[in-house]
Each structure stands twice: as C-alpha cells, then as structure tokens.
Amino acid sequence: MKLDARAPSGPLSQKWDKAKFDLKLVNPANKRKYKVLVVGTGLAGASAAASLAELGYEVSAFCFQDSPRRAHSIAAQGGINAAKNYQNDGDSVQRLFYDTIKGGDFRAREANVYRLAQVSTNIIDQCVAQGVPFAREYGGLLANRSFGGAQVSRTFYARGQTGQQLLLGAYSALSRQIGKGAVKMFPRTEMLDLVVVDGHAKGIITRNLVTGKIECHAGDAVILATGGYSNVYYLSTNAQGCNVTAIWRAYKKGALMANPCYTQIHPTCIPVTGDHQSKLTLMSESLRNDGRVWVPKKPGDKRPIAEIPESERDYYLERKYPSFGNLAPRDISSRSAKEACDAGLGVGPGGRGVYLDFADAIKRLGEDKIRERYGNLFQMYEKITGENAYKQPMRIYPALHYTMGGLWVDYHLMSNLPGLFVLGEANFSDHGANRLGASALMQGLADGYFVIPYTIGNYFATDKTPRPKIDHPEFKKAESEINERTKLFLSIKGKRTTSSFHSQLGHVMWDKCGMGRNEKGLLEALDQIPNIREEFWKNVNVTGEAEDFNQALERAGRVADFLEFGELLVRDALHRKESCGGHFREESQEADGEAKRDDENFSYVGAWQYKGKDATPELHKEALTYEEVKMSTRSYK
Amino acid sequence: MLLLNFFRSSIGLKIIMALTGLALFGFTVGHMAGNLQMFLAPEHINKYAAFLQGQKELLWMARIGLLVAVFLHIYAAVKLSALNAMARPVSYSDPAKSATRASVASRTMLLSGVVVMVFIVFHLLHFTGGFIQPDYFHYEDPAGRHDVYRMVFEGFKNPLISGFYIISVVLLGAHLSHGLMSMFRSLGLSSPAYRRQQELFANAFSALIVVGMAIVPFAVLIGLINPTY
Amino acid sequence: MKITLRIWRQKNENAPGRFVDYPMDHVSEDMSFLEVLDQVNEKLITDNKEPIAFDHDCREGICGTCSMMIAGTAHGPDKGVTACQTHMRTFKDGDLITVEPWRAKAFPLIKDLVVDRSALDRIIQAGGFVNVNTGGTPDANALPIGKVDADIAMDAAACIGCGACVAACKNSSPMLFVSAKVGQLAHLPQGKVERYTRVLDMVEAMEREGFGGCTNTNSCEAVCPKEISASFIGALNREYFVATLKGRPQTSSASGSG
Ligand SMILES: Cc1cc2nc3c(=O)[nH]c(=O)nc-3n(C[C@H](O)[C@H](O)[C@H](O)COP(=O)(O)OP(=O)(O)OC[C@H]3O[C@@H](n4cnc5c(N)ncnc54)[C@H](O)[C@@H]3O)c2cc1C
Ligand code: HEM
Ligand code: HEM
Ligand code: SF4
Ligand code: F3S
Ligand code: FES
C-alpha cells in the first residue's frame, strides 16, 4: 500500500495557504445534505462538531460520558502553546514549528507540524472570543508561562485548569449548536464499530449505555476524535473510561494504525501507593518551573529530608542538562527518574519516587507567590498523599500519560479509508515520537476548529459515494457481530474480573514496554499477551444483562480491545530498533545513556494494517522527508 | 410575556417576596418603635394611636398597602414552597444532614411565616378589632382618647396571651434572621465584599425585633410595667 | 481499617430501591473512596452478583462525573472535593457510611447511584455561551480584561457541572450552577454583549426542568467541590431582574434557544 500524505507542494510556509486555495468547496446550500458523524466530544471532537454545524453540515456527535463537557480533555492542567510572541522573547511560527519537530525527535510530518504552528495563534483568539478566562496580567493582557522543551514563554493557561476551560469553551460552542438543533448529541453512547461500505467509512454502530440498545448511524463521513490509549497500561493519568475501542475497530475495518509504540510518560505524577490504586494523578509539569528535582547521592539514604545536606543531593537534571535543567523534555526527565530509582536512589515507599523540591523557590519568591501559582496542585497533592508540599518536597514518579501513536492520517486528517477522519490524540499526526507539553490541547483544537472544516468539504466535493441506508448489509453484519460478542461476554461466567485482566495486561506493558524497552522483554510480552487474552475469553465474569445499564459489560468490551491492541503496540516497539522520543530501546543508546536515533533505517512512520484474526499485521511505511529542518541529534544539554 | 414569566419564575417569586418582605419588615420596625412607648407614660402611646387613627386616608392607604404586601408575600411563599416540595420526590435518608448548611430558620420559613400570620390575625382581632378581650377595648384615658396603654397592659397580664405573643415574636425573629439575609441576595444586592455585613445586619435586626417586641408583654408579666388603675 | 458501606441499590427508575450493607475488612487509609467501591464491586462480581453502578471518569476532581451522597453529604464530608477525591483518611475505623444517589426530580435515577443530569446541559444549550462562530475573531489581546474581572470570571468558570449544588439544596435548585455560568460570562467583555438575553434564556430553561427555586440556604456553596460562592446567585438575580425590566430586544435571531 502506498501511503500518500497529500501534503501540498511548495515552500513549507505556504503549503497550508495553497491547500486552502486548492481544496474544493461545498456550496453552502448543499452542506446540509451532508451528514457527519463525530465520535468523541473532547477538544478535537467538540470543536469539530461545532464548527461543522456552523458551516451548515448535519452533525451527530457521540460520547460515552453523560455529557460532552466531561471528555478527558477536561483534565489537562498546564496550558496551551501558541506562537503569539506576546512576550517579545523571540517566539515565532517558525520557532514553535521547530520546537515541536525537534521535541518529536524528527519523527513527525513536517507539513502538518508547520500548519499546527500557524493556526496556533487563531486558537487563542477563538477561545478568548468564546469567553475562556485565560490568566491575565494586571494591565489586562494575556499572561504566559514557560513549559518543558521550549526556551520561550508561549504557554497560555487558566490557573491549573486550562484543559477544562478550553473544553468548556468548545462545549459551549457545541451546546449552542445542539440548542439550535444543528447538532444531534448522543451522550452515554459508545461507538462499537465502524461501518465501511465500498471502501468508504459511512457509518458507525453504537451502544446506548443506558438502555443497552445497539443502534446504527449512517453518515457521509465519520470523524473519530476518541482520545488516546494510555489505559492499555492499566495505570495511567487518563480517565477511567479512556479506551482504544473506537480506533481499534476502525483498524480492524482497514484503517492503518501508526506508531502505536510512541507513548509518553509524564515525569511529574504522584507515586503509586498500593495495589488498590485505580489511576495515577498527574501534577502539571509547570511545577518544574519552580521545583528542583533531586535524589540523595547515597543509595538507600533513609535520613529525613532536612538532614540531607546540599552536597549530598543530586540535582540530576540540572547536572545532566545544564541549559534546560529541570525543564528538560518529558521523556528525558522521566527516563532520568527511572535511572535514579533503578540505581537505588529512589525515595518514598517502594523507592519509586524522586523529590520535587520547592524550598528554594519559596525562599526566593515567598510562599504566597508559590501558592498563587500552584495552590491547587499543592492542595491536590495533599489530598492524595496527606503531605504538605510547602513544608517538605513532593515525591513524584513518571506515569503513562499520552499516546503519540494513533490512526494514520494524511495532511487532510483523513485515514487511508476515505471518509474516515481522525482528530486529536486519536490520530498519530503531529507529535512524532514525543509530544511537548501544552501541545496536545493546541493540536486538538487546531484539528477541530481550523483544519477539518476545510478538508472535509474537499472530500464531499470530490467524492460522491452516496450515504447508505442503515439497512445496508454492512450495517446488519456489524450489528450482528456486536450482538454475538455481547452474548459471548455474558455467557462466559468465569472466575476472574475484567479488571484483574486489565491490571495483568498493564503490568506486562509497563514492565516490558514502558520507559525502557529491549528485545528480550518485548518478545516475552508478545508471548504473554495472547495468553492473557486467551484466558480472558475463557475465564472472565461479566455480570448483568445486555439490554441494561451495564458498566461491567462496557468495561469488558474496552479491556478485550486493549488485550488485542497491546500486542500490536509491543510488535511496533519490537520492530523499531532505534530509540526515539518516548520510545527508548535499551539496545540503542549512546555511551552516556542518551537515546540513539537511527535516521538511516527508521526515519519513517510505521503504519500497521490488520490482516485477519490470527494473521500478523502488515507494516507500511511513510517515509519522512524534511525539506526545511535539518535532522539533528536532539540535545537538551 | 416577559413579565408573566417573571411572576412565574422562581427568581421572580423571590424578588416579589423580598420586596414585600422588605415592606413588612419596615412596618414591623416602625411598629416596634411605637410599641416601646409603653415604657413611657400612658398619654404618649395613646396620643400616638389617636394621631394615627386621625389620619384616616393615610391609615387606609397604609393598611391596603400592607394587605397587598402580605397577600403577595404569601402568594409567592406558597407558590415557591409548592415548587420546591415537588422538586425532590424521593428524599434522602437524612434530609437535614444532606442540606449541609441550611439553618433551622431557613428550613422552617413556611412554618414560622404561617405562625406569624396566625398571630397577626389574632393580633388584629385582639387590639385592632377588640374581639378577643372586649372588656379592655373600651377604656378611655383622661383626655378622652382610646386608652391603648391600658388595653395592652390589661391584655398582657394574661400569661397565655403574652406567652403567645412572645412565642410568635420569637418565630418572627427566626423568620427574619434568614429572611433579611436572603432578601439582600434575592434583590441582587449581595456581593462577596458585603456578605459578612449583611449577615450581621440580618442577625442584629431580627434580634432587635424579638427583643423590642417581646419586651412589652414580658415587662407586663414581670411587673415592670405596672400602672395603678 | 474496617468499615461498612450502606449503599442504595435500585435497578432502574421504576423498580423499588433499598439500602444494602457491605462490610469491608481491609480498607487502607490511602485508598480513595471510589477505590473502595471498586473493591466492593470486584467482590460482587466474583460472587456473581451485579456490581454497584456509579458514575466516575477522571478520578481527579475535574470532570464532574462522580456524583453521590457520602455519609449524608454531597461528595462526602471533606470540603472542596469531589467524591473521587475523598480519601479513606477522612473516616474512622468502624464507620457506617451511607451512600445515596443525587436526589432531584430533574435528575431521574438511571441505576443504583447513577442519575441523569442532562438537565444541566440543556440549561447551557439554552444560552450558556457566547454567540461566536469559528474564525474571524479579533486578536486575543485586542480587548484587555482587568485581572480582577478575569479572576472572578475564572472563579465562576471553575464549575465542573457535577450537580452537587442541586443535590445538597433543600429545594433541588441549580442556581449555583446557573449563576456560575452567568457570572463568568457577565464579567468578560465578550460575554457582556448578550448578558441580558442569556440570563433570560438560561433561567427559562432552568424553570422548564422541574428544579426547585433558591431560598438562599447556602448548602450548595458548602458542598461545591470548586467552592463557588453563593454570592454569584445574588448577581444572577440582579441580572435577571434587570433583564426583565429591559425586556427582550425585538430581533429574536440572536438567541440560541430556538
Ligand atoms: C492529566 C492530563 C493532563 C494533561 N495536560 C495537558 C496540558 O497541560 N497541555 C496539553 O496540551 N495537553 C495536556 N494533556 C493531553 C491532552 O489533554 C489530551 O491529549 C487531549 O485533551 C486529547 O483530546 P481529544 O479531544 O483528542 O480526546 P479526549 O478529550 O480524550 O476526548 C475523547 C472523546 O471521545 C469519546 N470517546 C472515546 N471513546 C469512545 C467510544 N468508543 N465511543 C464514543 N465516544 C468515545 C469520549 O467520550 C470523549 O468525548 C493532558 C492529559 C492528561 C491525561
Ligand atoms: C408584642 C408586641 C406588640 C404590641 C404591644 C402591639 C400592639 C399593637 C396595638 C396596640 C395595635 C393597635 C393600634 C390601634 O389600633 O390603635 C396594633 C396593631 C397592629 N399590629 Fe401590633 N403589636 C405587637 C406586635 C405586632 C407584631 C409582631 C406584628 C406583626 C408583624 C404586629 C402587627 C400589627 C398590625 C398589622 C396592626 C394593625 C395596624 C392597623 O391598624 O392597621 N404587631 N399592634
Ligand atoms: C410581618 C410578617 C412577615 C415579614 C416581616 C416577613 C419577612 C420576610 C422576608 C424579609 C423574607 C425574605 C425574602 C427573601 O428571601 O428574599 C421572607 C421570606 C419568606 N417569608 Fe416572610 N415575612 C412575613 C410574613 C410571612 C408570612 C405570614 C409567611 C407565611 C405564609 C411568610 C413566609 C415566607 C417565606 C416562605 C419566605 C421565603 C423563604 C426563604 O426565603 O427561605 N412570611 N419573609
Ligand atoms: S456549582 Fe459547584 S456544585 Fe454546582 S455543578 Fe458547579 S461545581 Fe458542581
Ligand atoms: S442550597 Fe439551594 S437554596 Fe439557594 S443558596 Fe444554594 S441554591
Ligand atoms: S471522577 Fe471526575 S470529578 Fe470525580
């Protein structure tokens, strides 16, 4: 299969303008004849659904939560990047573009990333117009903060609740269209399958989570904006409901899954306390602006913190990366924490933690200033751990946080299946092998507000495949498969719970395919995962009924998909023998332990194609060519 | 149309209640001041009463105003209470605990209001109509005026009557302790900056009214007001 | 520690409901309350019984999904937190903890502890937004907004739409929720343009849903996980009063209530 990225020709900075001009338009009067199914109402989905409805398309939107306002985007704390250069500190579209490409370890598509940097400024304008209360200076202008992986202050924020405020902005735009009747909203509805008719994505099958009814929806195009798959690791900073189901089903219907092994581990999370734990809590990376990361120099140092003198503390990020210091990118900070803990220097119960110390900042700025900046984070930390971080350093440890991989899309954000568009974290597009902080929010909104409204019209204008009726055999087939699967779940009546399988899978993933990966471990994982899956289908107990509100059934469906997807993730990690970004292959490192990229052999997007139940998936490659930037070793020293 | 919605909406009802409540509160404060003349020589209050009775037009205008206010106040109270009663068909296992901060006064507004209303009717029959203790209603003072002073004094010598007055006034105080604070907010006059002051105002004035009103029957009972007839 | 959970079980809105006791022996202080519910559920599934249905998602106090009365209080006894942020440290060994769903006519019960809060969405759909389309907006710094106003707007905007205010209010009134949105937008120049039609639309939508009215009893702000001040309710009353006096503008196309 030839993967055509459809990026326009010409100089990088003019590609998007050229594309916008070349894209075919749909006559305003005709727009209402096209129906778009938007699955997911996070930043990407809500902004897309609202914008498309404003243009006049008929839109149906779906989410599994009880309200579109609760999508996982709500949890983002730190901020959103934009190349506004309001601080006069040398920012520009070019620089944001370069930072993002470099941050992604030269594994992202140049044209997409440039466009992202270009529209970033419009996003801020849009959000402010919607009434998003970004932080401001006393003079009334917008405030910025700096974030990992950048040397300029370009991050806009709303206290520690930036994702919430941006999502509520998109939600309000969406609500406005729902109120007008232009969007039909289906909350508490889970997409269980994609319907492909004559090679085009033309519908979805959903389950009404309240009544359990399986329903068919036909459309002229399908947009998946269903978020990331971090929960394949069981413990992550993602919400409980985050899942891979939607994109996994699309994959099984022919869409390519790109770079699943690119996962991001966030350095500042609250460490695990015990087996009961259901999720890990992230604390915004912005804490690293004022906190200093350290571990004792002596392994197993059990002295109280105050008794460890400065000279016996290793501020390892400052030592190893003098120019970025505590603001080194996420993958680097995370890996350094792991190295410290592996060397026995870890602190806290189980030794899986490092200190994030605010003592200096408090001395320099005063406790009030720190409270003003991070009050809610300190409070959250205390709620969870019972410790006061104004008095003693926080303990942090990395946790799974974001997934750069996802369904393959071209410059139009369309997958290889015509009519299937994928936005936000669900696609693979803009972050390469590692995402910079405050860039996911930017990407989700860029996709939804400023890209899809242009590109989807081109699909409608150039492709005239008709919208099928929901009694089309493809719908019937998909529907009956789902009913069969549900019946199967409920009939197994085994001895183990769904979560026990999920957590078992998560352990394998974290151990063998987490921060550090090697061939031996990955092969073991490839061996173990199918066994877990097999046992799952023999021995899981799913209670309740099909046609009812049944959370056990919901969860079983999601875990079943993780059990298949995990294997693909590991397979991808195994095949990519280089280290890049969030993917660290222990075999591929420099003498000093830094990641070693292999541009000669791996400068491509790895996109996997489903080949059937027991067949090995096929790898397709989209070569990455850089016209503007020179690939260099990503150094933050 | 908009006005109709206003009268139907819970916020509109609250604003009506607050405006009428404010009027009633104003009357009560004035009335209390008048009553305190019971601590002066009898001619003061008698003169005051006669003066009021002399202004027939004004008196009736005030009475009609009060009547309308009471009517609207009760109308809104009943309507809102009905709406609120329907809003939770299944109650919690511990309703008082679930309404974490709702004070007893705020939870019993309807009750205190009804008792106050019953009291007012009784009170009108008592001192304005002279139906409860007709014997005391027809005294005249040396100047030939209606001897309000003696009527009140003789009336309150009956502990059942003064007891009822005192209890009613305490309930009125409870009603106002929540009502006054609530009134500020219903009228949109609340702001975080003045919140403490408004709460203070509500508590102080409701206490003032309880004391200022109840002190009359109380003083009679314990013999502090003790003229010789 | 040992605790007993007394949990409301009800198959659906029309079925009868009742409390069922679930004694738990090994509860760690570090567990969150929802993790204890997880454990009860794991046990129920192992015993082949139906687990307790409860809404939850982010488990960090921001999505507003979790919703239950814990020990008689909306979101549990701790101040300024959601149910998912309630930790077992808050309770004592041997406690009997009652767990009930939000109760309000406007929040019909779905199952066990799960209720339908879409009424809140419909209030937003009626007017809780600024009428702008995507694109064509002025530069974000074109309109300066004083820090004080921006901060007040942010205080109000912090609402997570959890519905605890309704649950705790003795009248099941959503006034804190509505006032938070009205207050946020009324403090920003972008929202001021439509402030009066917005408040009329939102209040009318609120009245349609079967909520009760506010009598200023302040339980809402006491349980609000984002500690939104009930003073916003006063501001809402004022906006509504002024909006009524002004009347609706004659052109009706501006509003989204349809
Ligand atoms: C704790 C945390 C903090 C973060 N902080 C930042 C930050 O500071 N800056 C930043 O830029 N990024 C941050 N991120 C990343 C960022 O929040 C996400 O990547 C981004 O919000 C994803 O948005 P989305 O619209 O793609 O997906 P989501 O917001 O996850 O939305 C997914 C939507 O899809 C729906 N859905 C999913 N599956 C199905 C299905 N099968 N059927 C129907 N509907 C479905 C869901 O209901 C939901 O509406 C953070 C992430 C986390 C976890
Ligand atoms: C406990 C102390 C009170 C005393 C001693 C008192 C005394 C009186 C007297 C003497 C009159 C008749 C005046 C006249 O006809 O010349 C009167 C009238 C009235 N009182 Fe009171 N009163 C008391 C409390 C209250 C309270 C608590 C209320 C209600 C809030 C109230 C409401 C009225 C009303 C409405 C009238 C009728 C006024 C009119 O003529 O239109 N009183 N009161
Ligand atoms: C002299 C008599 C009365 C006075 C001075 C008075 C005063 C007030 C005031 C100031 C309020 C607050 C308005 C607001 O919330 O904004 C109020 C509320 C209320 N009143 Fe009265 N009232 C009186 C009589 C009554 C009576 C007779 C009733 C009974 C039917 C009543 C029932 C209520 C109710 C139900 C409320 C609203 C409940 C609440 O705010 O919590 N009141 N009253
Ligand atoms: S106002 Fe507070 S309690 Fe009410 S919905 Fe918002 S966050 Fe929840
Ligand atoms: S608790 Fe209810 S009465 Fe009003 S102040 Fe809050 S809405
Ligand atoms: S689960 Fe998201 S707020 Fe509790």
Burial A155-169 (b: 16+ CB within 10 A, else e): bbbbbbbbbbbbbbb
Question: Parallel, antiparallel, or unpaired for β C3-10 and C96-100?
Answer: parallel
Neighbour-count burial of A56, counting CB atoms closer than 10 A to its CB (0-12 exposed, 13-18 middle, 19+ buried):
middle
Rg, Å, chain B Cα set: 20
Q: How far apart are CA A584 and CA A517, in angstroms?
A: 6
Alpha helices in chain C (DSSP H): 33-46, 118-127, 147-157, 164-168, 175-186, 189-192, 195-208, 219-223, 231-246
Confirm whether the ipTM is greater than 0.90. Answer: yes
Note the pLDDT of residue C211.
Answer: 98
Note the pLDDT of residue A517.
Answer: 96
Enter the DSSP assignment of A287. Answer: G
Three-state SS for A624?
Answer: coil
Task: For A293-351, give the secondary structure using H, E and C.
Answer: EEEECCCCCCCCHHHCCHHHEECHHHHHCCCCHHHCCHHHHHHHHHHHHHCCCCCCHHH
Percent of chain C past pLDDT 70, that is, above it, reads 97
C-alpha distances in Å from residue B104, one per residue of A590, B45, B87, C119, C221: 72, 36, 20, 29, 17
Q: Which two tokens stand for residue C235?
A: 């501001």
Measured between beta carbons, the chain C residues lying within 8 angstroms of A131 are 129-130, 153, 184-185, 188, 190-191
Neighbour-count burial of B38, counting CB atoms closer than 10 A to its CB (0-12 exposed, 13-18 middle, 19+ buried):
buried
Q: Which two tokens stand for residue C39?
A: 């454990």
Q: Which two tokens stand for residue A82?
A: 């934009």
Q: How would you list the strands of the sheet with A214-218, edge to edge?
A: A189-197, A200-208, A214-218
Q: How confident is the model at residue B133 (pLDDT cuts 50, 70, 90)?
A: very high
CA angle A153, A167, C214 (to 5 degrees): 120
Measured torsion, CA atoms of residues C95, C100, C104, C106, in degrees rounded to the nearest 10: 140
Identity of the residue in A131, A179, A449 whose CB atom sits nearest the CB atom of C185: A131
Q: How confident is the model at residue C258 (pLDDT cuts 50, 70, 90)?
A: very low
User: Looking up tokens 């408040």, which residue turns up?
Assistant: C199
Q: How far is the CA of A281 from the centre of ligand 6 (A)?
A: 12
Identity of the residue in A140, A179, A450 whose CB atom sits nearest the CB atom of C257: A179
Enter the DSSP assignment of A449. Answer: I
- Is A555 labeled as catalytic in the residue annotation? no
| Separation of CA A311 from chain center | 39
Q: Which two tokens stand for residue A186?
A: 């289906």
Which ligand 6 atom sits nearest the alpha carbon of residue C225? 3
Q: How far is the CA of C227 from the centre of ligand 4 (A)?
A: 8
Chains C and A touch (3+ CB pairs under 8 A): yes
Residue B65 has pLDDT above 60, yes or no: yes
Q: Which two tokens stand for residue C181?
A: 């949105």
Rg, Å, chain A Cα set: 24
Q: How confident is the model at residue C251 (pLDDT cuts 50, 70, 90)?
A: low
Residues with Cβ < 8 Å from A629, sequence gap 6 or more? A98, A101, A102, A106, A110
Which residue positions in chain A have pLDDT lower than 70?
636
Answer yes or no: do A134 and C150 touch at CB < 8 A.
Answer: yes
Note the pLDDT of residue A513.
Answer: 97
User: Looking up tokens 């006669």, which residue turns up?
Assistant: B50
Summarize pLDDT for C86-115 with one digit per residue, the tens.
Answer: 999 999 999 999 999 999 999 999 999 999
Q: How far apart are CA B168 and CA A426, in angstroms?
A: 67
Enter the DSSP assignment of C139. Answer: P
Enter the DSSP assignment of B28. Answer: H
- Which contiguous run of DSSP H or E holds residue B164? helix B159-186
Q: How far apart are CA C177 and CA C123, in angstroms?
A: 10
Q: How far is the CA of A232 from the centre of ligand 5 (A)?
A: 42
Q: How far apart are CA A240 and CA A279, in angstroms?
A: 8
Which ligand 3 atom sits nearest the alpha carbon of residue B110? 35
- Which of A66, A73, A266 for mutating ligand 1's site (highest number of atoms within 8 Å of CB)? A73
| A508 in reach of chain C (CB within 8 A) | no
Confidence (pTM): 0.96
Rg, Å, chain C Cα set: 21
| C228 in reach of chain A (CB within 8 A) | no
Q: Which of A281, A513, A239 is nearest to A397 (CA)?
A: A281
Residues with Cβ < 8 Å from A451, sequence gap 6 or more? A115, A119, A412, A413, A423
Residue B191 has pLDDT above 70, yes or no: yes
Residue B147 has pLDDT above 80, yes or no: yes
| C67 in reach of chain A (CB within 8 A) | no
Task: Confirm or reject: Cβ of C175 under 6 Å from ligand 5.
Answer: yes
Q: How far apart are CA A384 and CA A480, in angstroms?
A: 45
Q: How far apart are CA A337 and CA A353, in angstroms?
A: 8
Summarize pLDDT for C149-184 with one digit per residue, the tens.
Answer: 999 999 999 999 999 999 999 999 999 999 999 999
Question: Are residues A597 and A527 in contact, defined by beta-carbon separation less than 8 angstroms?
Answer: no
Measured between beta carbons, the chain C residues lying within 8 angstroms of B10 are 173, 207, 211-214
Q: How many CB atoms lie within 10 A of CB A359?
A: 16
| B89 in reach of chain C (CB within 8 A) | yes
Note the pLDDT of residue A284.
Answer: 82
Identify any residues that bridge with C70 across adjacent strands, giving them in sequence order: C73, C99
Residue C256 has pLDDT above 70, yes or no: no
Q: How far apart are CA A302 and CA A291, in angstroms?
A: 22
Q: How far apart are CA B117 and CA B107, in angstroms?
A: 17
Summarize pLDDT for B88-131 with one digit per residue, the tens.
Answer: 999 999 999 999 899 999 999 999 999 999 999 999 999 999 99
Long-range contacts of residues B43-49, Cβ cutoff 8 Å, at least 24 apart: B43/B141, B43/B143, B43/B149, B45/B148, B45/B149, B45/B152, B46/B141, B46/B143, B46/B145, B46/B146, B46/B147, B46/B148, B46/B149, B47/B143, B47/B145, B49/B145, B49/B146, B49/B148
Strands, E assignment, A19-163: 35-39, 58-62, 80-81, 155-156
Identity of the residue in B14, B90, B195 whose CB atom sits nearest the CB atom of C213: B14
Helices B10-35 and C231-246, packing angle to 10 deg: 100
Q: Which two tokens stand for residue A333?
A: 């900070």
Identify any residues that bridge with C20 across adjacent strands, giving them in sequence order: C7
Q: How confident is the model at residue B2 (pLDDT cuts 50, 70, 90)?
A: confident
For residues B141-159, average pLDDT: 95
Name the phi and psi angles at A333, rounded to 5: -65, -40
Measured between beta carbons, the chain A residues lying within 8 angstroms of C143 are 128
Note the pLDDT of residue C257.
Answer: 44
Neighbour-count burial of C72, counting CB atoms closer than 10 A to its CB (0-12 exposed, 13-18 middle, 19+ buried):
buried
